[in-house]
Chain A
Amino acid sequence: MEVLQSLAVGFVHVFAPANLVALTVGLLLGLLIAVLPGLTLVMGVVLALPFTYTMDVTAAIILLTAMYVAGTYAGAWTSILFHVPGEPIDVPMLWDGYAMARKGDAAKALGWTLTAALVGGLSAATAMVALAQPVARIALTFSTPEYFAIIFFGLASVVSLGGSSLANALISLFAGLLIATVGVDDTYGAHRFTFGVPILSDGIDYLVVMVGAFGLGEVFLRMEQRFTSAPLQSVDRVSTRLPTLREAAAVKGTYVRGTLLGILIGIVPGAGATVASFLSYGVEAQYGRRKALMGSGIPEGIVAPQTAATSSVGGAMIPLITMGIPGSGATAIILGAFLLHGLQPGPQVFETSSEIVYAVFASIFVGVIGMCLIGYFSARLLVRVLELPEVLVSAYVVMLCILGAFAARNNITDVWLIVVFGVIGLLCERWRFPITPMVLGVILGPLAETNFMTTMISFGNDWTVFFTRPISGTIMAVAVATIVYPVLRQWQRRRRLAAT
Chain B
Amino acid sequence: MRRALAGALPYALVGGFASYLYYAATRIDFHRRADTLGPDVWPKLVLGLMIAVCLYEIVRVVLSPRRRGGATGVLQEIAEESVAKHGGGETVELGPRSPLMLLGGIALTAFYVWIIQRLGFVLATAPYLVAFIALGGYRRWAINAAVSVIGTLAMMFFFMKVVYVSLPIGQEPFAQVTLALMRLMGIR
The docked-state distance in angstroms from the alpha carbon of A230 to that of B90 is: 10
What string of 1s and 0s marks CB contacts (under 8 Å) between A88-113 and chain B? 00011011000000000000000000
The docked-state distance in angstroms from the alpha carbon of A145 to that of B113 is: 44
Given contacts A190-B28, A275-B75, A412-B113, contact A178 B155 (CB under 8 A): no
Q: Is the CB of A185 within 8 A of B53?
A: no
In the complex, whether B129 has a CB less than 8 A from a CB of chain A is yes
A224 in complex: contacting residue of B29, B71, B102, CB < 8 Å: B102
Contacts across chains A and B counted by CB atoms under 8 Å? 252
Q: Is the CB of B109 within 8 A of A419?
A: yes
The docked-state distance in angstroms from the alpha carbon of A118 to that of B160 is: 39
In the complex, whether A165 has a CB less than 8 A from a CB of chain B is yes
Chain A minimum-CB-distance residue to B49: A174
In the complex, whether A41 has a CB less than 8 A from a CB of chain B is no
Q: Is the CB of A399 within 8 A of B129?
A: yes
Given contacts A178-B21, A295-B86, contact A167 B75 (CB under 8 A): no
Q: Is the CB of B109 within 8 A of A174?
A: no
In the complex, whether B141 has a CB less than 8 A from a CB of chain A is no
A220 in complex: contacting residue of B25, B82, B92, B102, CB < 8 Å: B102
Query: Main secondary structure on chain B at its contact with chain A?
Result: helix
What string of 1s and 0s marks CB contacts (under 8 Å) between B69-109 and chain A? 11111111011111100111101111111110110011001
Chain A residues with CB under 8 Å of B96's CB are 226
Chain B minimum-CB-distance residue to A271: B75
Q: Is the CB of A226 within 8 A of B89?
A: no
The docked-state distance in angstroms from the alpha carbon of A199 to that of B151 is: 30
CB distance from B47 to the nearest CB of A (A): 7
CB distance from B114 to the nearest CB of A (A): 9
Given contacts A91-B88, A295-B86, contact A181 B43 (CB under 8 A): yes
Chain B residues with CB under 8 Å of A92's CB are 82, 86, 88
CB distance from B19 to the nearest CB of A (A): 13
Chain B residues with CB under 8 Å of A403's CB are 155, 159, 165, 167
Chain A residues with CB under 8 Å of B129's CB are 395-396, 399
In the complex, whether A490 has a CB less than 8 A from a CB of chain B is yes
Q: Is the CB of A282 within 8 A of B78?
A: yes
A164 in complex: contacting residue of B73, B81, B116, B158, CB < 8 Å: B73
Chain B residues with CB under 8 Å of A461's CB are 35, 37
The docked-state distance in angstroms from the alpha carbon of A193 to that of B18 is: 12
What string of 1s and 0s marks CB contacts (under 8 Å) between A276-314 and chain B? 001101100000000000010000000000000000000
Give the segment of A27-35, A121-129, A344-352, A451-459 that binds chain B.
A451-459
Q: Is the CB of B50 within 8 A of A171?
A: yes
The docked-state distance in angstroms from the alpha carbon of A187 to that of B38 is: 9
Given contacts A394-B136, A419-B109, A460-B35, contact A225 B73 (CB under 8 A): no
In the complex, whether A274 has a CB less than 8 A from a CB of chain B is yes
In the complex, whether A162 has a CB less than 8 A from a CB of chain B is yes
Q: Is the CB of A160 within 8 A of B74?
A: yes
CB distance from A356 to the nearest CB of B (A): 21
Q: Is the CB of A164 within 8 A of B91?
A: no
Q: Is the CB of B76 within 8 A of A83?
A: no
Q: Is the CB of A225 within 8 A of B91?
A: no
Q: Is the CB of A220 within 8 A of B163?
A: no
List A residues 175-205 near B (Cβ within 8 Å): 175, 177-178, 181, 185, 187-193, 195
Q: Is the CB of B46 within 8 A of A412?
A: no
The docked-state distance in angstroms from the alpha carbon of A456 to that of B33 is: 13
In the complex, whether B147 has a CB less than 8 A from a CB of chain A is yes
Chain B minimum-CB-distance residue to A37: B92
Q: Is the CB of A486 within 8 A of B91?
A: no
CB distance from A257 to the nearest CB of B (A): 15
In the complex, whether B133 has a CB less than 8 A from a CB of chain A is yes
In the complex, whether A54 has a CB less than 8 A from a CB of chain B is yes
Chain A residues with CB under 8 Å of B165's CB are 53, 403, 406-407, 410
Q: Is the CB of B113 within 8 A of A419?
A: yes
In the complex, whether B132 has a CB less than 8 A from a CB of chain A is yes
| Residue from the set B54, B57, B158, B165 with the largest chain A CB neighbour count within 10 Å | B165
Chain B residues with CB under 8 Å of A188's CB are 30-31, 38-39
In the complex, whether A480 has a CB less than 8 A from a CB of chain B is no
Chain B minimum-CB-distance residue to A166: B71
Chain B residues with CB under 8 Å of A91's CB are 83, 88-89
Q: List 15 A-B contacts (CB under 8 A).
A: A83-B91, A84-B91, A92-B86, A164-B76, A166-B72, A167-B57, A171-B53, A192-B25, A192-B28, A216-B109, A224-B98, A391-B133, A395-B136, A399-B151, A419-B106
Which B residues fall within an 8 A CB radius of A? 10-11, 14, 18, 21, 24-25, 28-31, 35-43, 46-47, 49-50, 53-54, 56-57, 69-76, 78-83, 86-89, 91-99, 101-102, 105-106, 109-110, 112-113, 116-117, 125, 128-129, 132-133, 135-138, 147-148, 151-152, 155, 158-159, 162-168
| Cβ-closest 6 pairs across A and B | A391-B136, A190-B30, A185-B39, A174-B50, A490-B71, A224-B102
* 14 further interface pairs, Cβ-Cβ under 8 Å (given A225-B94, A279-B78): A91-B88, A91-B89, A165-B69, A165-B70, A165-B71, A177-B46, A178-B50, A185-B30, A193-B25, A220-B106, A224-B102, A228-B93, A279-B79, A396-B151
